[in-house]
């Protein structure tokens, strides 16, 4: 591999080998499936952090998530029957409580059997529904729930008025979670990957200076006027008649929030990149807005331009994976790649704090201004 050694590039030293390895972070809520994909007594199969899950709803519609592996002989529980309370394995009929995973019945046992089936558990994951997703709390791969563990609140999309519209988009990204996430926060690919007359082109590249500040488990691009070179923001200014500001947060393990506010109008979005396997992630995008609910301009931007943006990103990642198959190392160069560095530092600090029990050492001591061209 070739490294440029000019002084200009002296920050382009190869990143630590662990960076980009895609290590998955335990102890967080992850979106497992879209709410509207789980109906009635259906058992829905999905995977989070390489853990196979079976997701369903009990008779009261409350969602549950079990490890999709029968503790008897590893048969996927998702092939079984569900009566609204108990999941029955299709191989030998063992039955498990859908929420706790506790075994309730083993049909092969005789009446005088000494075996205590209630001591057997299928792995189970705390489960909640919010913003159109069923979320699972991934404390560990086994689905061992420690009753003493206080869970953090389920991530919530911020909204700023009682009435708003909401939309969801999703895409698979064939890469490790790290490449998916640093692709989200990378300002330098816009003019090359997302070229469009109404957004960016090479000719529109200009100097940028953005202020960042530390927030718990992440960092914030402080409120600023949106890029002068993007048409959607010009439209927003035109229709609201107010100057808009944008705030962008990244929060571990995988969330990017963006808020655009102009007077009483707002648009709030969240993108998560969730590891499915070591080489596959799912991008989930949800946006809510109250801008001209009777005039579908924002809806149009989100439903037409959103998928196009996401397609451009997933195509670039597909091509990148051809190279990553041969070369895992990467160069993180100067301010344009600084956020990617912070992400890796935050991740390392989180793992360290889990190990030591100490509070997370934040990579940002205070506000910082980054400069790049995009
Ligand atoms: S494998 Fe599930 S009951 Fe035997
Ligand atoms: Fe992108």
Span 112-148, pLDDT tens digits = 999 999 999 999 999 999 999 999 999 999 999 776 6
Alpha carbon of residue 93 to chain centroid: 36
Nearest CA to ligand 1 atom 3: 92
| CB 89 less than 6 A from any atom of ligand 1 | yes
Q: What percent of the chain has pLDDT over 70?
A: 91
Distance CA 95, CA 117 (A): 10
Atom from ligand 1 closest to the CA of residue 70: 2
**What pLDDT score was predicted for residue 201?**
65
Query: 109 is written with which tokens?
Result: 């046992």
Mean pLDDT of all residues in 352-362 = 94
**What pLDDT score was predicted for residue 293?**
73
- Ligand nearest the Cα atom of residue 273: 2
pTM of the model: 0.91
Distance CA 315, CA 63 (A): 33
Mean pLDDT of all residues in 294-319 = 88
Cα-Cα end-to-end distance for the chain = 26
| CB 103 less than 6 A from any atom of ligand 1 | no
Question: Nearest-5° angle of CA 288, CA 193, CA 245?
Answer: 40
| CB 105 less than 6 A from any atom of ligand 1 | no
User: Is residue 60 packed enough to be buried (19+ CB in 10 Å), middle (13-18) or exposed (0-12)?
Assistant: exposed
């Amino acid at each position: 591999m070739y490294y440029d050694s000019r002084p200009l590039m002296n920050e382009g030293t190869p990143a630590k080998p662990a960076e980009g390895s895609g290590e998955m972070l335990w102890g967080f809520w992850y979106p497992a499936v879209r709410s509207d994909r789980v109906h009635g007594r259906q058992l829905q199969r999905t995977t989070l952090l390489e853990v196979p899950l079976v997701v369903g709803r009990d008779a009261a519609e409350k969602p549950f998530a079990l490890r999709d592996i029968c503790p008897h002989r590893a048969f996927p529980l998702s092939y079984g029957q569900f009566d609204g309370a108990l999941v029955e394995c299709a191989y030998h009929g063992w039955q498990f409580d859908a929420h706790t995973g506790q075994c309730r019945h083993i049909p092969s046992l005789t009446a005088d059997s000494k075996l205590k089936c209630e001591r057997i558990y299928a792995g189970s994951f705390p489960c909640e529904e919010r913003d159109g997703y069923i979320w699972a709390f991934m404390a560990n791969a086994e689905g061992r729930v420690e009753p003493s563990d206080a869970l953090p609140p389920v991530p919530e999309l911020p909204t700023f008025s009682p009435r708003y519209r909401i939309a969801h988009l999703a895409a698979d990204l064939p890469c490790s979670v790290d490449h998916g996430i640093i692709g989200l926060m990378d300002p330098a690919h816009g003019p090359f990957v997302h070229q469009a007359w109404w957004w960016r082109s090479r000719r529109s590249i200009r100097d940028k200076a953005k202020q960042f500040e530390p927030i718990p488990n992440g960092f914030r691009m402080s409120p600023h006027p949106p890029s002068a070179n993007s048409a959607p923001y010009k439209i927003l200014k035109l229709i609201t008649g107010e100057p808009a500001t944008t705030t962008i947060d990244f929060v571990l393990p995988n969330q990017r929030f963006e808020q655009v506010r102009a007077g009483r109008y707002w648009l709030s979005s969240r993108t998560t990149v969730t590891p499915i396997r070591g080489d596959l992630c799912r991008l989930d995008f949800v946006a809510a807005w109250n801008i001209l609910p009777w005039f579908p301009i924002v809806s149009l931007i989100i439903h037409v331009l959103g998928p196009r943006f996401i397609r451009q990103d997933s195509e670039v990642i597909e091509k990148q994976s051809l190279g990553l198959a041969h070369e895992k190392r990467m160069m993180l160069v100067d301010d344009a790649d600084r956020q990617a560095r912070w992400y890796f530092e935050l991740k390392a600090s989180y793992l360290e704090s889990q190990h030591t029990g100490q509070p997370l050492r934040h990579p940002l001591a205070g506000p910082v201004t980054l400069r790049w061209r995009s």
